[in-house]
């Protein structure tokens, strides 16, 4: 089993290295194509390869999506197999953190409500997660959230703020046990699509008649998490009831690896808050 995992890991790293080369070639081809279309001088750094790149351009299909990514394979069973999520905390969690961690999935002593992640298990030690047939690990604290896709990654790191526990919400609605519909608002950039995929595949496919909705709404790169159930009051109107919890998330890093190789995994994206301060940047949208 260990040899098989090591082999699969090597194959994954090889595909990733090949992808980087292909992206470099694709970038040069697009720069050459733009220069030819706009009747401009070919950039100096690609002049030696211009003839070869032009021949390759002749074989490219119109309307293609460019180079495929190894990321395309990370969620290839999404929607076919239900996700199996393991939720962990630190070794000595506070009572408030235990309550927050168990809200997505009730522990043995909390069975009156179902979960945010419908096929998840709550445990208190991360090493237990490794080696199980899980699709995701979620490591949570009251100010941070780590979402790790197994077996090879990616791992997304979020900060949390404005956390409101489920039972602190006034006029709390009744929790539905149905798989939730998901709403993603304002995730229009390439990074935004990446983040929406990371979060989307934590949840199984809902049935059409499910009346449970989870919303991820992006505003100024802060992602608001909201959880509602709804019912029809008449043929034109519906009534929403918040069932919680609620909080805001901010992405600060994505790594191409899992929690066990955190120190060696390549960083796919990192938030640099002090760069390009002259112009405000929005990472999850195309603005």
Output the pLDDT for position 84.
Answer: 83
Residue 104: per-residue pLDDT: 53
| Chain segment 51-105, per-residue pLDDT in tens | 887 777 766 655 444 445 555 567 776 777 788 888 887 667 777 777 777 665 4
Residue, of 243 and 3, whose pLDDT is higher: 243
At 162 the pLDDT is 92
pLDDT score, position 42: 83
Q: Show the tokens assigned to 168.
A: 């602190």
Q: In the prediction, which pLDDT does 35 show?
A: 83
Please report the DSSP string for the chain in residue order.
-HHHHHHHHHHHHHHHHHHHHHHHHHHHHHHHHHHHHTT-PPPGGGSTTHHHHHHHHHTSPTT---S--THHHHTTTBTTB---EEEE--SS--HHHHHHHHTTS--TT--SS--SSTTEEE-S-GGGTTTSS-SEEEEE-SSEEEEEETTT--EEEEEEEEEE-GGGSTTPPPPP-SPPEEEEES--SHHHHHHHHHHHTTSPPPPTT--EEEEEEEETTEEEEEEEEEEESSSS-EEEEE-S-EEEEEEEEEEES-GGGTTTSEEEEE--TTSSTTS---SSS--
Domain ranges in the chain are 2-69, 83-270
Average pLDDT over residues 136-151: 86
What lies within 8 Å, CB to CB, of 284 at 6+ separation is 186, 187, 188, 189, 191, 192, 195, 218, 221, 223, 251
CA dihedral 151→178→109→171, nearest 10 degrees, is 120
Look at residue 107 in the predicted model and tell me its pLDDT.
35
% of the chain at pLDDT higher than 70: 77
pLDDT at position 254 is: 92
- Residue 181, beta-bridge partner list: 213
Tell me which of 34-38, 105-109, 133-137 is least confident: 105-109
Interatomic CA distance for residues 160 and 250, integer angstroms: 7
The token duo for 159 is 């900060």
Distance CA 254, CA 245 (A): 24
Is the pLDDT score of 114 beyond 50? no
Torsion angles phi and psi, residue 112, rounded to 5: -75, -15
Say what the pTM is. 0.72
Lowest-pLDDT range of 168-177, 199-208, 270-279? 270-279
User: Between 65 and 244, where is the model more confident?
Assistant: 244
| pLDDT score, position 66 | 46
CATH of region 83-270: 3.40.50.10480
Q: Across all residues in the chain, what is the average pLDDT?
A: 77
Q: What is the pLDDT, as a whole number, of residue 185?
A: 95
């Amino acid at each position: 089993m260990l040899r098989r995992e090591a082999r699969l890991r090597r194959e994954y790293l090889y595909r990733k290295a090949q992808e980087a080369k292909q992206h470099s070639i694709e970038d040069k081809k697009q720069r050459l194509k733009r220069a030819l279309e706009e009747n401009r001088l070919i950039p100096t750094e690609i002049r030696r390869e211009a003839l070869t790149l032009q021949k390759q351009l002749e074989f490219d299909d119109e309307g293609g999506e460019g180079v495929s990514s190894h990321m395309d394979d990370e969620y290839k069973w999404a929607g076919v197999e239900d996700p199996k999520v393991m939720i962990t905390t630190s070794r000595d969690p506070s009572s408030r953190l235990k309550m927050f961690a168990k809200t997505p999935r009730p522990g043995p002593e909390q069975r009156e409500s179902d979960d945010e992640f419908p096929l998840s298990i709550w445990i208190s030690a991360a090493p237990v997660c490794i080696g199980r047939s899980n699709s995701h690990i979620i490591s949570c604290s009251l100010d941070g959230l780590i979402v790790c896709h197994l077996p090879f990654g990616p791992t997304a790191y979020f900060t949390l703020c404005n956390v409101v526990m489920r039972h602190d919400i006034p006029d709390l609605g009744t929790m539905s046990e149905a798989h939730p519909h998901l709403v993603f608002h304002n995730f229009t950039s390439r990074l935004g699509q990446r983040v929406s995929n990371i979060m989307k595949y934590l949840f199984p496919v809902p049935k059409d008649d499910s009346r449970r909705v989870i919303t991820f709404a992006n505003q100024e790169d802060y992602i608001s998490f909201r959880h509602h159930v709804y019912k029809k009051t008449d043929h034109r109107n519906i009534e929403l009831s918040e069932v919680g919890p609620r909080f805001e998330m901010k992405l600060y890093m994505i790594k191409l690896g899992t929690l066990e190789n955190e120190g060696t995994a390549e960083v796919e994206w990192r938030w640099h808050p002090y760069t390009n301060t002259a112009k405000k940047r929005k990472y999850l949208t195309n603005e």
